[in-house]
Amino acid sequence: MPILMGVRPLFHPSLDDITVEGILHALSDPVRVAIFADIVAQECSHNCSMFLTVSDKAIPKSTLSQHFRALREAGLIRGERRGVEMYNTSRCAEIEKRFPGLLLAIVNAHAIQSKDEAQAKKLAVKRSSGRTAKNK
């Protein structure tokens, strides 16, 4: 693949340089853990622009770039430039060899938490609409 002039190469840590602390730090942000969970759930590369909305929140491209950089530098994803676009894939299989079960536990915990939050949100909307109907 030709190297684009003026474009810095992407940093991807070796498997030996990936740490539990780095993984936990990268996934401590709710937006980053949601992005990572989505990438893990798919088996194909994801274009960064697919994540302009995460958990019903609009994410500016500049902020999104910072989130992807944090995930990449922690060793969680591998980024690949294709023209002007960046595609990201999970490094779960590699990390599983170094830290068995770690990422699966985090992704599963995130799924449980997201489900609980969605149910709480639905319940709050239902309660709110019930009060509105009573007040009419």
Three-state helix/strand/coil letters over 22-59: HHHHHCCCHHHHHHHHHHHHCCCCEEHHHHCEECCEEC
- Which domain, by its residues, includes 87? 16-130
Specify if 1 maps to a domain: no
Specify if 99 maps to a domain: yes
Specify if 136 maps to a domain: no
Specify if 119 maps to a domain: yes
Specify if 27 maps to a domain: yes
Which pLDDT score is estimated for 24?
97
Number of domains in the chain: 1
82: domain CATH number is: 1.10.10.10
Which pLDDT score is estimated for 1?
46
Bridge partners (DSSP) listed for residue 83: none
Specify if 8 maps to a domain: no
Each residue's pLDDT tens digit, 34-77: 999 999 988 778 777 778 778 778 888 889 989 999 999 999 99
